[in-house]
A = this chain, B = another copy of it.
């Protein structure tokens, strides 16, 4: 495993190698990975479902709960990077391009304090 814990590409390569070593690549078609991602999003949602919205940040300042949340967020991230990898998506570039595009679409002074509506 890579020591560069902050690199999307290194983490992606580690996950790919993890799957390869276990001969799990055959399970990792995009639809299956998407369902696995949905499973992990569900586990994350369950942590928060009955917490009052205004208390959520404070409640998860508790070290055990933050640890649990961190594990579930990580599981979502791992399946997301794996999905991008099998689709041959250059995720660092794609995410950067998306942010650049958001800067263009949402000029700060035009949307100040206003939540954009999804059409």
Contacts and interface: CB of A to CB of B under 8 A. Distances in A.
Instruction: Please tell me the size bucket of the interface on A.
Output: 35 or more
Interface string A44-88: 111111111110110011000010011101111110100110111
Contacts of A26: 113
**Interface of chain A, helix or strand or loop or mixed?**
helix
A87 to B, nearest CB: 5
A118 B83 CA distance: 19
Interface string A101-118: 011001010011101001
A74 B91 contact: yes
B88 A66 contact: yes
Q: Which 9 A-B pairs have the closest CB atoms?
A: A42-B42, A50-B115, A70-B94, A53-B53, A39-B46, A74-B98, A35-B49, A23-B113, A38-B45
